[in-house]
Protein backbone atom coordinates (compact mmCIF):
# COMPACT_ATOMS: atom_id res chain seq x y z
CA UNK A 1 0.00 0.00 0.00
CA UNK A 2 2.83 2.38 0.84
CA UNK A 3 4.55 1.67 -2.47
CA UNK A 4 1.33 2.40 -4.33
CA UNK A 5 0.97 5.71 -2.54
CA UNK A 6 4.51 6.79 -3.39
CA UNK A 7 3.91 5.75 -7.01
CA UNK A 8 0.85 7.98 -7.17
CA UNK A 9 2.81 10.87 -5.65
CA UNK A 10 5.64 10.35 -8.13
CA UNK A 11 3.16 10.35 -11.01
CA UNK A 12 1.60 13.58 -9.75
CA UNK A 13 5.03 15.20 -9.41
CA UNK A 14 6.13 14.12 -12.88
CA UNK A 15 2.86 15.37 -14.38
CA UNK A 16 3.39 18.72 -12.67
CA UNK A 17 6.94 18.84 -14.04
CA UNK A 18 5.69 18.07 -17.56
CA UNK A 19 3.11 20.86 -17.38
CA UNK A 20 5.73 23.23 -15.99
CA UNK A 21 8.10 22.39 -18.85
CA UNK A 22 5.34 22.79 -21.44
CA UNK A 23 4.53 26.20 -19.97
CA UNK A 24 8.19 27.26 -20.14
CA UNK A 25 8.51 26.03 -23.73
CA UNK A 26 5.35 27.91 -24.70
CA UNK A 27 6.75 31.10 -23.17
CA UNK A 28 10.08 30.57 -24.92
CA UNK A 29 8.36 30.15 -28.29
CA UNK A 30 6.30 33.27 -27.64
CA UNK A 31 9.46 35.22 -26.76
CA UNK A 32 11.21 34.00 -29.91
CA UNK A 33 8.24 34.92 -32.09
CA UNK A 34 7.91 38.40 -30.60
CA UNK A 35 11.66 38.89 -30.87
CA UNK A 36 11.61 38.02 -34.58
CA UNK A 37 8.91 40.51 -35.56
Residue-wise DSSP of 8-25: HHHHHHHHHHHHHHHHHH
Higher pLDDT, 4 or 15: 15
Share of the chain above pLDDT 90, in %: 65
How far is the C-alpha of 21 from the C-alpha of 18, rounded, in Å? Answer: 5
- Specify the pLDDT at position 5: 74
In sequence order, what are the residues at sequence separation of 6 or more whose Cβ sits closer than 8 angstroms to the Cβ of residue 19? none
How far is the C-alpha of 8 from the C-alpha of 12, rounded, in Å? Answer: 6
Of 8, 27, 30, which is closest to residue 19 (Cα–Cα)?
27
How far is the C-alpha of 29 from the C-alpha of 34, rounded, in Å? Answer: 9
pTM above 0.75, yes or no: no
Per-domain residue ranges of the chain = 1-37
Amino acid sequence: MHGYLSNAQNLKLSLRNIFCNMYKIKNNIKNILTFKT
